Chain A
Amino acid sequence: MNIFRLTGDLSHLAAIIILLLKIWKTRSCAGISGKSQVLFALVFTTRYLDLLTSFISLYNTTMKIIYIGCAYATVYLIYMKFKATYDGNHDTFRVEFLVVPVGGLAFLVNHDFSPLEILWTFSIYLESVAILPQLFMISKTGEAETITTHYLFFLGLYRALYLINWIWRFYFEGFFDMIAIVAGVVQTILYCDFFYLYVTKGESGSNKINPA
């Protein structure tokens, strides 16, 4: 474990908690893409099946359970409890255009053709594009609430910190996972446009960002 991976995990945890609390406190999921949240729940489900097969550390197990729990709680709040506030008209990204290619790629490019490994690879590829429905929805509505921008900032920051973690691990441990690195680079690049807006609009203090 290194400081970049730890802060990355904490940034990821912060993002997940920020979103969950925002929906819970405001009792509304307006402006939130339910599709992205379903994709994230799928990412955690397919990646953390090893909870059943191997124990890494208390930290590892605890975080995985928290991530899965919060992901499903968020999906529940969006599609059940606060369904009336779900903005389905703007959450129209065709997720099948993500899941099918990602599923196919996971079968073609992986480290090992075993069920657990293919599911892990699927989750890595899916996570890199899972935020697209949310970014698409923001571009359609033309604005995002401040809390949502903080959520996206921490979510983008987490994988950017993981990139540094992988540089660190390659240099000090000789460890690297090309699949995770390539997907992580793609994932972080998708946030670049948002990061620019977050930083520039953040300074001007306007409480809404208007992506191009």
Chain B
Amino acid sequence: LEEDKPKDEL
């Protein structure tokens, strides 16, 4: 499963 990249933008 693709690592769920956290959204770093506001």
Contact = CB atoms under 8 A, between A and B. Distances in A.
Interface of A: 5, 9, 12, 50, 54, 56-57, 60, 63-64, 67, 112, 120, 162, 165, 180
Contacts of A54: 6
B6 to A, nearest CB: 5
A12 B7 contact: no
8 contacts: A5-B9, A50-B7, A56-B6, A56-B7, A60-B10, A64-B10, A67-B10, A112-B4
Interface residues of B, number: 6
Contact of B8 (A60, A67, A112, A120): A60
Contacts of A165: 9
A9 B7 contact: no
A5 B6 CA distance: 17
